[in-house]
């Protein structure tokens, strides 16, 4: 019984973290699916979302507004707007001019952008980590009084529900709306789509904006969950989310969701049963092993190299 | 068209405001667990507004501005000049380079200790950048975990000296060979991956090595690092005031001169200089050997190169291993210079700086990479008030370089023949 509770606790923690990884991973996978580049600066966009949300929360608190749903919604909207604008601007400045060149050139440009954004926030907000207020606390407890208690906090429930809403909305958008259909067309064949009258530049911008908005949601959620933010907060999370995207099969949106959940559970099992320090090693090893043995991931389509 | 331009410019200006005002315009301050928000001062806000106005005007008159920029004649009237004969140019180049090396040999005796120390660091970066240049510039493999091999070199020397009391001169080849072995072993499975996946996997390897160094406390001392790494000796002569090891003599007593801390600094500089020149010469040779040609051939067109019978794995692996070898070299010198190493010195940012040097200098070009290493290391020291902007400028420079001049400031030049235009 004790073991089962402990195991379920790790599972819940893993699914919580994993669902936020999935939100960030969407940004990687959509961009990769359409223009075939790794948006290295995506983790930084997520970090900027977390910072904006914190600024909005603190600002509202200073104004004396205490109604929780209003605070959360305003913070979420602010974070999404700033992050999406950032995503749009990054694509415009750093990726569009180098699109279609040799593969390494956009990647180096993206690394430069990532360093730039990290230091932009570092200079504006300082390098120390700043506490993020726990707006949603409390939760359910299971288990007998003296043994191990399993807890499911309201925060974790919020994360699940928000992720679920975002993912459903995204799936509907991609499968039903006109823009979503254009997105799928562009990811299948960019040249053909533009011949058929789709404004491909606009669609590519749209994918960056959508990815950035979802990353901002993850920024707010994870900021509250971990309780602090700092300018380097995006780098490791971005790498993890990229791992999740690759694990699920890069370019595939359901794959990103699945990959995020698997990675989150793998990580929390490692820190629950082995040691917390090695959880990063596990996720990087997982990344390396997948790329070596099944580079298409779990749900990805094999890439055929044409000569 | 004008209306569209205006709308677009306005949109860009608003986006500029959105992405800069919330982050720059408010400062979060943590006091204990409480976080407060303060507005930035008026001058910062003016800057934000000014940035938006500049973006607006630039986007509005984009065509005119770009047209004007294009009509400015290039300051380098290279194109009109008759190209210098190839062997004459090579001769002049080799004389100039020899002159610079001789100058660099005598220079430390006339300047302050601080600048010699800085110059040693520059030389270490030159070694690293030259090594990475083989991997990224010549073979076209983006290695984001290059700092791992640097760490292997440094930790090899530190650990061996701690446990077996090995000397610098023995550790130098061992460290480099061990780093090369690491490159070989890590490279073997990953090299069949495509460009951008390779970059991420090497990044993962770099992080794994750093995390292991950080957590394997019994061997590496964890975050506390390893101290007391010995200085190099000159034929068994030590540079300290007193001799640490039995059987050694000290440098100042042998030559009958007064003890000075500068001897050691200058000696380290000279070692680094000799090793950097050695690195440059060896890699220069490699570039002209069949294997060097194969690196470039594979970078330019993998399918064509393979169909001509080049083994992809062997060629890529050789580049990876040679790059790792020189990183191990640089690591050993670094450990000896600092006397203390910890995982802090081997973070991803370090890899990014070395990559920035290679990219700025011009991928594949040795002279460009050396100049970029000097500039990237020395400029932040000269302009100390800007040093906190260093990484910001690096990032921006990498993006701008890729957009405008992906071949770098001093692109690589090959011996080639140009056909004369028919009259």
Contact A235, A113 (CB under 8 A): no
According to the model, what pLDDT value does residue A82 have? 94
pLDDT at B114 over 60: yes
Which of B140, B402, B407 to mutate to test binding with chain A, by most A CBs within 10 Å of its CB?
Answer: B402
Q: Give the distance, in angstroms, between the CA of residue A304 and the centroid of all CA atoms in the same chain.
A: 28
Scan residues 271-290 of A and list those with Cβ closer than 8 Å to B: 277-278, 280-281, 284-285, 287-288
According to the model, what pLDDT value does residue A147 have? 67
Q: Is residue A3 part of a domain?
A: no
Buried-state track A194-218, b at ≥16 Cβ within 10 A, e below 16: eeeebebeebbbbbbbbbbbbbbbb
* B391 against B76, higher pLDDT: B391
According to the model, what pLDDT value does residue B237 have? 67
Q: Do B37 and A59 touch (CB under 8 A)?
A: yes
Q: Region A202-214: what's the mean pLDDT?
A: 93
Q: Do B200 and A125 touch (CB under 8 A)?
A: no
For B394, the closest of A101, A115, A131 (CB atoms) is: A115
Percent of chain A with pLDDT over 70: 96
According to the model, what pLDDT value does residue B388 have? 78
Q: Do A107 and B195 touch (CB under 8 A)?
A: yes
Q: Which of chain A's residues have a Cβ under 8 Å away from the Cβ of B24?
A: 124
Q: Region B276-280: what's the mean pLDDT?
A: 91
Query: Highest-confidence range of A276-290, B22-36, B156-170, by mean pLDDT?
Result: B156-170
Q: Which of chain A's residues have a Cβ under 8 Å away from the Cβ of B136?
A: 104
ipTM, 2 decimals?
0.84
For B395, the closest of A52, A115, A287 (CB atoms) is: A115
According to the model, what pLDDT value does residue A83 have? 94
According to the model, what pLDDT value does residue B250 have? 67
pLDDT per residue as tens digits for the range B100-109 = 888 878 777 7
Question: What is the radius of gyration, based on Cα positions, of chain B?
Answer: 25
pLDDT at B86 over 70: no
Q: What distance in Å separates the CA atoms of residue A20 and residue A163, rounded to the nearest whole number?
A: 7
> In terms of residue numbers, what domain contains A74?
19-134+153-293
pLDDT averaged over every residue in chain B: 82
According to the model, what pLDDT value does residue B131 have? 93
Q: Region A31-43: what's the mean pLDDT?
A: 88
Q: Is residue A305 part of a domain?
A: no
Is residue A157 less than 8 Å (CB to CB) from chain B? no
For domain B88-404, the CATH architecture is: Orthogonal Bundle (1.10)
Interface A–B counts its CB contacts (< 8 A) at 177
Pairing of strands A150-153, A228-229: unpaired
pLDDT at B241 over 70: no
**Range in A32-46, A90-104, B21-35 with the lowest mean pLDDT:** B21-35
Scan residues 217-246 of B and list those with Cβ closer than 8 Å to A: none
According to the model, what pLDDT value does residue B203 have? 86
* Residue B383, C-beta contacts closer than 8 angstroms, at least 6 positions apart: none
Give the CATH number, domain containing residue A268. Answer: 1.10.3470
Number of domains comprising chain A: 1
Q: Region B370-393: what's the mean pLDDT?
A: 81
DSSP B66-90: HHHHHHSPPS-TTTTSPPPPHHHHH
Which of A115, A212, A229 to mutate to test binding with chain B, by most B CBs within 10 Å of its CB?
Answer: A115
Contact B373, B415 (CB under 8 A): no
* Residue A254, C-beta contacts closer than 8 angstroms, at least 6 positions apart: A248, A299
Q: Which of chain A's residues have a Cβ under 8 Å away from the Cβ of B36?
A: 58, 62
According to the model, what pLDDT value does residue B35 have? 75
Q: Which of chain B's residues have a Cβ under 8 Å away from the Cβ of A103?
A: 194-196
pLDDT at A252 over 90: no
Q: Region B219-241: what's the mean pLDDT?
A: 74
According to the model, what pLDDT value does residue A145 have? 64
Q: Is residue A288 part of a domain?
A: yes
Is residue A232 less than 8 Å (CB to CB) from chain B? no
Q: Is residue A145 part of a domain?
A: no
Query: Highest-confidence range of B175-179, B192-196, B254-258, by mean pLDDT?
Result: B175-179
pLDDT band at A116 (very low <50, low <70, confident <90, very high): very high
Q: What distance in Å separates the CA atoms of residue A79 and residue B298, rounded to the nearest whole number?
A: 45
Q: Is residue A73 part of a domain?
A: yes
* Residue A248, C-beta contacts closer than 8 angstroms, at least 6 positions apart: A25, A29, A254, A255, A256, A257, A258, A259, A260, A262, A297, A298, A299, A300
**Range in A207-211, A299-303, B221-225, B393-397 with the lowest mean pLDDT:** A299-303
Task: Give A124's Cβ-side CA count (13 Å radius).
Answer: 28
CA distance B19 to chain A (A): 6
For A281, the closest of B36, B136, B208 (CB atoms) is: B208
pLDDT at A169 over 80: yes
pLDDT at A97 over 80: yes
According to the model, what pLDDT value does residue A129 have? 80
Q: Where are the domains of chain B?
A: 2-71, 88-404
For B211, the closest of A105, A124, A281 (CB atoms) is: A281
Q: Which of chain B's residues have a Cβ under 8 Å away from the Cβ of A89?
A: 15-16, 19
- Report the C-alpha dihedral over residues A104, A106, A108, A113, rounded to 10 degrees: -170
According to the model, what pLDDT value does residue B252 have? 65
Scan residues 327-356 of B and list those with Cβ closer than 8 Å to A: 348-349, 352, 355-356
pLDDT band at B328 (very low <50, low <70, confident <90, very high): very high
- Report the C-alpha dihedral over residues B102, B106, B108, B110, rounded to 10 degrees: -140
According to the model, what pLDDT value does residue B278 have? 92
Q: Region B272-278: what's the mean pLDDT?
A: 91
pLDDT per residue as tens digits for the range A51-88 = 999 999 888 888 887 788 888 899 999 999 999 999 99
pLDDT averaged over every residue in chain A: 86
Length of chain B: 423
Percent of chain B with pLDDT over 90: 15
Beta bridge partners of B238: B250
Q: What distance in Å separates the CA atoms of residue A274 and residue B132, rounded to the nearest whole number?
A: 36
Is residue A306 less than 8 Å (CB to CB) from chain B? no
Is residue A89 less than 8 Å (CB to CB) from chain B? yes
Q: Do B19 and A82 touch (CB under 8 A)?
A: yes
What does pTM read for this prediction? 0.86
pLDDT per residue as tens digits for the range B40-60 = 778 888 888 888 888 888 888
According to the model, what pLDDT value does residue B180 have? 93
For B399, the closest of A58, A109, A295 (CB atoms) is: A109
According to the model, what pLDDT value does residue A166 have? 92
pLDDT band at B128 (very low <50, low <70, confident <90, very high): very high
Q: Is residue A198 part of a domain?
A: yes
For A38, the closest of B200, B212, B399 (CB atoms) is: B200
Q: Do B402 and A277 touch (CB under 8 A)?
A: no
pLDDT band at A8 (very low <50, low <70, confident <90, very high): confident
According to the model, what pLDDT value does residue B343 have? 87
Q: Region B393-422: what's the mean pLDDT?
A: 76
Task: Give the chain B residue whose CA is nearest to the CA of A109.
Answer: B399
Q: Region B14-27: what's the mean pLDDT?
A: 84
Q: Is residue A71 part of a domain?
A: yes
The phi and psi torsions of B413 (rounded to 5 degrees) equal -120, 140
According to the model, what pLDDT value does residue A43 have? 92
Please give the DSSP secondary-structure letter assigned to residue B37: E
For B396, the closest of A37, A116, A278 (CB atoms) is: A116
CA distance A228 to chain B (A): 10
Q: Is residue A300 part of a domain?
A: no
DSSP chain A: -HHHHHHHHHHHHHHHHHHHHHHHHHHHHHHHHHH----TTHHHHHHHHHHHHHHHHHHHHHHT---HHHHHHHHHHHHHHHHHHHHHHHIIIIIGGGTTS-THHHHHHHHHHHHHHHHHHHHHH-SS-EE----S--EEEES-SSS--EEEEHHHHHHHHHHHHHHHHHHHHHHHSHHHHHHHHHHH-HHHHHHTT--HHHHHHHHHHHHHHHHHHHHHHHHHHHSEE-TTHHHHHHHHHHHHHHHH-TT-HHHHHHHHHHHHHHHHHHHHHT-GGGHHHHHHHHHHHHHHH-TTTTTPPPPPPP-
According to the model, what pLDDT value does residue B247 have? 60
Is residue B196 less than 8 Å (CB to CB) from chain A? yes
Q: Which of chain A's residues have a Cβ under 8 Å away from the Cβ of B59?
A: none
Q: Do B212 and A281 touch (CB under 8 A)?
A: yes
């Amino acid at each position: 019984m004790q073991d089962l509770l402990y195991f379920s606790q790790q599972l819940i923690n893993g699914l919580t973290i994993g669902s936020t990884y999935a939100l960030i991973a969407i940004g990687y996978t959509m961009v990769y699916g359409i223009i075939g580049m790794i948006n290295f600066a995506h983790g930084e966009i997520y970090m900027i979302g977390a910072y904006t949300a914190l600024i909005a929360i603190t600002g509202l608190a200073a104004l004396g507004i205490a109604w929780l749903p209003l605070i959360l919604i305003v913070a979420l909207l602010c974070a999404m707007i700033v992050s999406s604008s950032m995503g749009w601007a990054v694509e415009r400045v750093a990726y569009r001019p180098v699109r279609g060149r040799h593969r390494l050139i956009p990647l180096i440009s993206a690394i430069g952008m990532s360093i730039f954004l990290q230091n932009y926030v570092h200079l504006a907000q300082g390098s120390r980590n700043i506490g993020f207020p726990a707006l949603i606390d409390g939760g359910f407890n299971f288990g007998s009084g003296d043994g191990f208690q399993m807890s499911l906090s309201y925060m974790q429930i919020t994360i699940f529900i928000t992720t679920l809403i975002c993912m459903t909305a995204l799936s509907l958008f991609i499968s039903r709306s006109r823009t979503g259909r254009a997105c799928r067309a562009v990811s299948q064949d960019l040249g053909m789509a533009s011949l058929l009258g789709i404004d491909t530049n606009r669609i590519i911008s749209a994918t960056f904006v959508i990815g950035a908005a979802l990353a901002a949601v993850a920024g707010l959620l994870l900021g509250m969950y971990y309780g602090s933010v700092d300018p380097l907060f995006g780098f490791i999370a971005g790498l993890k989310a990229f791992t999740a995207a690759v694990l699920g099969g890069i370019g595939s949106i359901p794959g990103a969701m699945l990959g995020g959940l698997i990675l989150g559970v793998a990580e929390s099992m490692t820190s629950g049963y082995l040691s917390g320090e090695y959880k990063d090693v596990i996720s990087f090893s997982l990344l390396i092993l997948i790329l070596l043995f099944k580079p298409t991931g779990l749900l990805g389509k094999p890439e055929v190299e044409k000569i | 068209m004008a209306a569209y331009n205006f709308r677009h410019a306005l949109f860009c200006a608003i986006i500029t405001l959105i992405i800069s005002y919330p982050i720059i315009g408010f400062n979060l301050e943590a006091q204990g667990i409480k976080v407060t928000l303060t507005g930035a001062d008026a001058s910062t806000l003016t800057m934000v507004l000014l940035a938006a106005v500049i973006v607006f005007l630039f986007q509005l008159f984009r065509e005119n501005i770009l047209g004007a920029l294009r009509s400015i004649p290039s300051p380098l009237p290279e194109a009109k000049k008759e190209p210098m004969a190839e062997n004459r140019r090579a001769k002049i180049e080799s004389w100039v380079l020899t002159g610079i090396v001789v100058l660099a040999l005598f220079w430390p005796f006339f300047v302050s200790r601080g600048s010699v120390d800085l110059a040693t660091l520059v030389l270490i970066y030159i070694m690293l950048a030259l090594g990475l240049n083989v991997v990224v510039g010549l073979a076209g493999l983006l290695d984001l975990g290059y700092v791992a091999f640097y760490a292997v070199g440094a930790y090899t020397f530190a650990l061996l000296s701690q446990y077996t009391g090995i000397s610098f001169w023995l550790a130098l080849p061992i460290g480099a060979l061990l780093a090369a072995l690491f490159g070989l072993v890590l490279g073997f499975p990953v090299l069949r991956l495509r460009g951008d996946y390779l970059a991420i996997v090497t990044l993962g390897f770099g992080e794994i090595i750093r995390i292991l160094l950080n957590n394997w406390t019994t061997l590496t001392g964890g975050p506390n690092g390893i101290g007391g790494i010995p200085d190099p000796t000159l034929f068994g002569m030590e540079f300290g005031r007193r001799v640490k090891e039995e059987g050694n003599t000290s440098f100042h007593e042998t030559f009958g001169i007064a003890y000075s801390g500068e001897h050691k600094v200058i000696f380290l500089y000279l070692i680094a200089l000799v090793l950097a020149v050695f690195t440059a010469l060896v890699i220069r040779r490699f570039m002209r050997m069949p294997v060097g040609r194969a690196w470039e051939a594979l970078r330019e067109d993998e399918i064509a190169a393979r169909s001509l019978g080049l083994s992809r794995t062997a060629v890529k692996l050789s580049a990876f291993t040679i790059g790792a070898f020189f990183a191990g070299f640089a690591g050993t010198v670094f450990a000896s210079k600092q006397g203390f190493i910890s995982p802090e010195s081997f973070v991803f940012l370090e890899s990014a700086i070395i990559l920035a040097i290679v990219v700025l200098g011009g991928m594949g070009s040795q002279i460009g990479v050396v100049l970029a290493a000097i500039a990237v290391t020395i400029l932040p020291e000269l302009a100390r008030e800007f040093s906190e902007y260093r990484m910001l400028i690096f990032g921006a420079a990498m993006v701008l370089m890729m957009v405008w001049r992906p071949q770098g400031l001093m692109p690589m030049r090959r011996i080639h023949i140009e056909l004369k235009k028919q009259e």
